[in-house]
Structure 1
Amino acid sequence: MHWKRDVQLLLLFAHLSGVILVAGMSEVWVELRAPRFVVHHHSAVLRCDHNVDPESLYKVVFFKNGQRIMKFVRGRDPPFELYNITGTEINLIKLSPTSITLERLDFSASGPYACEIALETPLYSKVSKIHELNVIVRQKFRPKIKIKHKKLSSSDHLEATCQSAPAHPAPHLTWFINNNKVDESLTIPYGTMKVHRHHHGIPLSMTNTSLHFPLTNLQLYPNQTVEITCLSTIPSYASVAEGFADVQNSTVTVNVVRIEPAPTQLPVKIVDESLTIPYGTMKVHRHHHGIPLSMTNTSLHFPLTNLQLYPNQTVEITCLSTIPSYASVAEGFADVQNSTVTVNVVRIEPAPTQLPVKIVSSQLNVSARSHVESILVVIVIFVCHIYS
């Protein structure tokens, strides 16, 4: 009699733990298989998978939000019983004991689904885990990438923004640089934004994010470029079985060039008026309501010796034209105009140095010596004439 009690205890334990010995099988399992995401007004197949022998299966029930939507009982006539479900309808032609097909899913069809199987001998039932089903609206175009600067040096930061297309739910944005995922600490999510395009009463949403990525030590492509990709997906992470329900991406190429540094800003130096020549003012014939207008002229004569140049060997000259000549602390200038020109300072090579005079050997013959003397006489006379 002890063995009967042991069997009863084993069956009770199996019922409480969800494990039961049936027809030589070590454990009963049940799982609801269905898509996680379904496009609006599309269909979805829900299957209640299990490992119970069909002859031992007595009842199968499908649930949404804990409420029955379909029940199958073996041996009844009719064997199927359907219940009300919002946002969709069950296809009667495709109905089977362990699967249902939901047609033309609306947004209200989203929610948690589950299924239950039951055995008659021994009396046992088990419910699957909850499965979330979501009705979505896909993106209709690629995300938009905007680059702040299209020419960058290798020491700069790459700054860009990305905006997804409208969808439901809001897409998730992920950055890639040269096919490598960017750490989210280098991105700034701006959240989602509702748009006025309502899809059957549901407002669509767009997602915005920005990227601030240092190019230092980044490996460039051989043509000195960087590829930036913005991946816009629903959901944020793909499942192993299904992947993404909706995915769009855009890629742009940025040239990384060598940008010469701008000339270092030198302190502004006001030229001493002793180095300028004022030409005074000149009346012009343009009378402004009876008042003759005047122009001022001046010239500059400035030595470049010891003047500090910009790194590119240039000098900037600015002429400031103001009314009045000096600004007040309270008001500044009443009128101010200025013009600036850049002058290149080049290195001019000096003329060839005078070669040293070579004394002619005394071995020269008389005629040659007299000829040289005549040349020297001519040179001396010429120089003296020049400087006389």
Structure 2
Amino acid sequence: MTPPITRTWSRRGRTPVVRVRGRSRRRLSVAALACYKPGERPRLIYRPCPDARPDGRKSFSWKDYRDLIQTAHQQLGGPIVLVWDNLNTHLTAGMRRYIAERDWLTVYQLPPYAPDLNPVEGIWSVLRRTTTANRAFADPHDLITAVRRGLRQLQYRHDVLDGCLTGTGLVLAPVWLGVTGDTVAAFTAAVAVLIIACPCALGLATPTALMVGTGRGAQLGILIKGPEVLESTRRVDTVVLDKTGTVTTGRMTLQEVYAAEDSDEKEVLRLAGALEHASEHSIARAVAEGAQERLGDLPAPEHFENVPGLGVRGRVEGHEVTVGRFPGTLPEPLAGAKAGAETEGRTAVVVVRDGVALGVVTVADAVKETSADAVRVAAADATGGGVCT
């Protein structure tokens, strides 16, 4: 508390000193409910809590709030819609269980920090500026008496209680509810007006929305450099997508196996899978996994060697096998299959046994299931261009 306002004097050049008798470190906590109902005068229901309690607790417990709500229900004689802060005491398991068991009680939580929306905060401010302002208390009992007297005076100042209620436009909710009959839409409209009406809540809502948006994008694989980049996306008219890992899964998988006229597809895949199983290349892993999935166990290569620019070669079951690029001319069926696969964006490798082309194996980066819909939506939203992948 600030020193009391009194007439003081001292000699010129010296600061007047007011001696205050009594000193105490005790405090007084007060919980209150500001009750509003259309067509009736507002009411203030409060409960003080001195710090000298039998259990040694210096603040309110959830049971104290429970008793305050129960008292309000008895005095008001009807259902209650309670809007209060996100205090830890309000969110305890006991309080949540008490609220769930009362059909006459509906609770909504205010934003994490919104003192402008809580009329009780305004009532405390009025109390500090009037009855308890500029007053020194002789003892804790004097403090409790002054606060109680001030609260009793505020109970009869209906204009002050009405002035502490922030105008948020919540009256739109009953009108919206009566017109549409949709409770969710009515409450959504009321909360939207509530957030816009309070500059404090608006200042918190904007960075919070940007933080949530960038976090959700990161979960989906979209890295946003900053909030200003997210805001600038409304001017985007052309979307450019990287194919590998964005439109596709980023993981090669086995597609088709083509065999020459005098060979078998299973034999081609068996030899290719056995040799590629010893390689760590992404294409080799796709061939090896696909062969093992389709044929089961594969023979182990007796010799393995990486050939830069050509692929891999080794000895499998006594045969010299090469998987990769074929330096010579492929027979017509295999050449057509290889050209067709490359036209469709697939990777084709040639399987050679003892110098003779045995077949062609194709692998590709599979397209994600959601890519078609995403590209379609992006193309529909693009106004000044198209989608390039």
Given the two structures, how large is their TM-score scaled by the length of structure 2? 0.18
Bigger relative contact order, structure 1 or 2, given CA contacts below 8 A and separation 6+?
Answer: 2
The structure having more radius of gyration, on CA atoms, is: 1
Greater per-residue strand proportion: 1
Greater per-residue helix proportion: 2
Given the two structures, how large is their TM-score scaled by the length of structure 1? 0.18
